[in-house]
Amino acid sequence: MRNFIQKGDNITVAAPAAVSSGDGVQIGTLFGVAATDADSGAAVAIATRGVFDLPKENTTDTFAVGDAVEWDAGNDRVAALDTGVQIGVAVESAGATKATVAVKVG
């Protein structure tokens, strides 16, 4: 195909803030997980598909397999889907005492 650019599993974007490898990165409705460290405005590859262990608010949010999640960019963590953009689904249960949840992104 003449118009094919790339698969899209990894996209290079300008980091909206300083990020470390493994951090969630959201730009509008595009979400991915940073592959490397990057300063704000620097190019960073983000994985837009896959399953990642992401931080959550461990004292209030609980997740069951299949729960829709959004990214709380203000606190850099996963939250239950409310009014934000769905970034993926939980692929394991995560109770209140667990600090992370496995999320299928994409």
Please write the tens of the pLDDT for every residue from 56-65: 987 888 999 9
Separation CA 25–CA 1 (nearest Å): 30
CA distance 22 to 13: 15
Paired tokens of 88: 């993926």
> How many Cβ atoms sit within 10 Å of the Cβ of residue 52?
19
d(CA 84, CA 28): 10
pTM: 0.92
Report which residue type is found at 19. Answer: V
2-57 residue pLDDT tens: 998 888 899 999 999 999 999 999 999 999 999 999 999 999 999 999 999 999 98
Measure the CA–CA gap between 53 and 90, rounded to whole angstroms.
Answer: 10
